[in-house]
C-alpha cells in the first residue's frame, strides 16, 4: 500500500516569505506527527495530531509555525516569515494510533527547506 | 527533564558484531523503539521493547532493562549497507516519543 507522502520534496524560499508543507499520511492512521531535522542532528518534535483531539503543539519553536489537519487526514505545516534558521528537513510521520501499544511511526521522505 | 543518551559515532568492521547503547531518563515509560536512518533518507522502524529482555529479529537484536533505564541494539554479521544512523526513542507517560540524537555507525571493509 501507499506510504506517507510529502510535498514538495525540496523548497527554496527567500527570508521573510511564508511556506506551506504538505503531508499525506497512510490511510486509516489516526496519529500524525511533524518533526524537524537539521543536518547531522536528531529529530526535533514539532506537533502531534491524534484523531479529533486538540493537537499537541508543545514542540512548535515559535508562533510563526502552525499546522492543521483537515478531515483527520492530510496535514499542512505553515511557516510564516521564514528565517534562515528554519532551514532543515521537515519530516512527517503517521501511526495507526498515538496512544499505547507498539504502534511504530511510518515516516515520509521529508521536505528539505532552504531559506536564503 | 527527559533525556536519551547514545554515542555520537561508532566504527565497526564488515562481518563483525556491534552493540549500540542507549540510556534514558523519562517521565514514565511506555516502550522503547529503535529506528535506522540512512543518510538523506527518512527513519525506518527496527524494533520495539516494552518488557525486559532480548528481542531477536534476524541479524538485529534489541535488549531492554527498565530498572536500569538501558537498552542496546546488537547488529551481527555486519554488512556495508548497515552504515547508517541508529535512533533510540522512548514513549513517555503521555505517549510522546522522546528521541535520542542518534548514533552514526560506520562500517569498514
Give per-residue pLDDT as tens, A17-65.
Answer: 999 999 999 999 999 999 999 987 889 999 999 988 889 898 999 999 9
Give the pLDDT band (50/70/90) at residue B94. confident
Give the pLDDT band (50/70/90) at residue A4. very high
CA distance B78 to chain A (A): 23
Predicted confidence at residue B75, as pLDDT, reads 98
Range with the poorest average pLDDT among A39-48, B15-24, B46-55? A39-48
Mean pLDDT of chain B: 95
Q: Do B43 and A43 touch (CB under 8 A)?
A: yes
Give the pLDDT band (50/70/90) at residue B95. confident
Could you give the CA distance from residue A25 to residue A92 in angstroms, rounded to a whole number?
Answer: 8
Contacts 24+ apart (CB under 8 A), B15-18: B15/B77, B15/B78, B16/B78, B17/B74, B17/B75, B17/B76, B17/B77, B17/B78, B18/B74, B18/B75, B18/B78, B18/B105
Could you give the CA distance from residue B64 to residue B55 in angstroms, rounded to a whole number?
Answer: 9
Please check the confidence at residue B61 and state whether its pLDDT lies above 60.
yes
Q: Which of B27, B31, B32, B42 to mutate to test the interface with A (most CBs of A within 10 A)?
A: B42
Predicted confidence at residue A84, as pLDDT, reads 96
Q: Does B99 touch chain A (CB under 8 A)?
A: yes
Predicted confidence at residue A99, as pLDDT, reads 75
* Chain A residues with beta carbon closer than 8 angstroms to that of B99: 42-43, 45
Amino acid at each position: 500500500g501507499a506510504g506517507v507522502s510529502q510535498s514538495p520534496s525540496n523548497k527554496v524560499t527567500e527570508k521573510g516569505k511564508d511556506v506551506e508543507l504538505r503531508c499525506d499520511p497512510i490511510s486509516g492512521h489516526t496519529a500524525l506527527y511533524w518533526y524537524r531535522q537539521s543536518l547531522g542532528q536528531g529529530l526535533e518534535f514539532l506537533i502531534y495530531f491524534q484523531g479529533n483531539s486538540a493537537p499537541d503543539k508543545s514542540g512548535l519553536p515559535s508562533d510563526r509555525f502552525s499546522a492543521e489537519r483537515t478531515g483527520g487526514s492530510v496535514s499542512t505545516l505553515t511557516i510564516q516569515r521564514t528565517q534562515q534558521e528554519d532551514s532543515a528537513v521537515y519530516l512527517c510521520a503517521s501511526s495507526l494510533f498515538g496512544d499505547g501499544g507498539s504502534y511504530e511511526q511510518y515516516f515520509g521522505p521529508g521536505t528539505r527547506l532552504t531559506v536564503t | 527533564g527527559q533525556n536519551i543518551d547514545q554515542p555520537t559515532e561508532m566504527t565497526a568492521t564488515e562481518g563483525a558484531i556491534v552493540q549500540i547503547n542507549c540510556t534514558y531518563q523519562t517521565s514514565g515509560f511506555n516502550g522503547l523503539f529503535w529506528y535506522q536512518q540512512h543518510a538523506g533518507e527518512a527513519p525506518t522502524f527496527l524494533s520495539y521493547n516494552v518488557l525486559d529482555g532480548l528481542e531477536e529479529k534476524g541479524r538485529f537484536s534489541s535488549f531492554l532493562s527498565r530498572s536500569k533505564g538501558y537498552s542496546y541494539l546488537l547488529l551481527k554479521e555486519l554488512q556495508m549497507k548497515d552504515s547508517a544512523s541508529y535512533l533510540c526513542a522512548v514513549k513517555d507517560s503521555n505517549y510522546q516519543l522522546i528521541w535520542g540524537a542518534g548514533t552514526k555507525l560506520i562500517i569498514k571493509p
